[in-house]
């Protein structure tokens, strides 16, 4: 509820300020967006810690879990950056940020995909 309240108040303020000082309105939106993200850091850490404990209990290699968590982080950060640049009126740059995020995700996923393909190949009986 706090995040929703902050978001609504800052949106209202940004709309009021935008008519006279559009640069300040944009800075306000960026500041609030980053503040909300920082407010959630503790929750993100708790989720990551819980997933790592679950992986350790299930005897899953932590390298794979950490890679998947990095992929999720790249997706969220790229989306946040794309939204901020789109809010600034730079749709072309936002599209490039999204493309870069997708390429980085694919690059990070290659080792996991390799293990999955090797596992499937090993399961197929050879003739």
The pLDDT mean for the chain works out to 89
The confidence score (pLDDT) of residue 105 equals: 95
pTM of the model: 0.73
Among 71, 72, 87, 70, which residue's Cα sits nearest to residue 34? Answer: 87
CA pair distance 102, 94, nearest whole angstrom: 12
Coil, helix or strand at residue 109: helix
Of residues 96 and 37, more confidently modeled? 96
Tell me if 75 sits within 8 A of 101, measured CB to CB.
Answer: yes
> 90 to each of 3, 22, 103, 125, how far by Cα in Å?
26, 15, 20, 53
Query: pLDDT tens for residues 59-89?
Result: 888 888 889 999 999 999 999 899 988 988 8
């Amino acid at each position: 509820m706090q995040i929703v309240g902050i978001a609504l108040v800052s949106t209202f303020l940004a709309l009021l300020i935008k008519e006279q000082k559009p640069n300040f309105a944009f800075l306000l939106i960026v500041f609030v967006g980053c503040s909300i993200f920082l407010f959630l850091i503790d929750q993100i850490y708790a989720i990551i810690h819980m997933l790592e404990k679950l992986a350790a209990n299930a005897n899953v290699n932590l390298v794979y879990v950490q890679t998947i968590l990095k992929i999720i982080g790249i997706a969220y950060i790229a989306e946040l950056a794309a939204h901020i640049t789109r809010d600034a009126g730079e749709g072309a740059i936002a599209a490039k940020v999204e493309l870069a995020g997708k390429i980085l995700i694919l690059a990070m996923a290659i080792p996991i995909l390799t293990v999955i393909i090797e596992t499937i190949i090993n399961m197929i009986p050879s003739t």
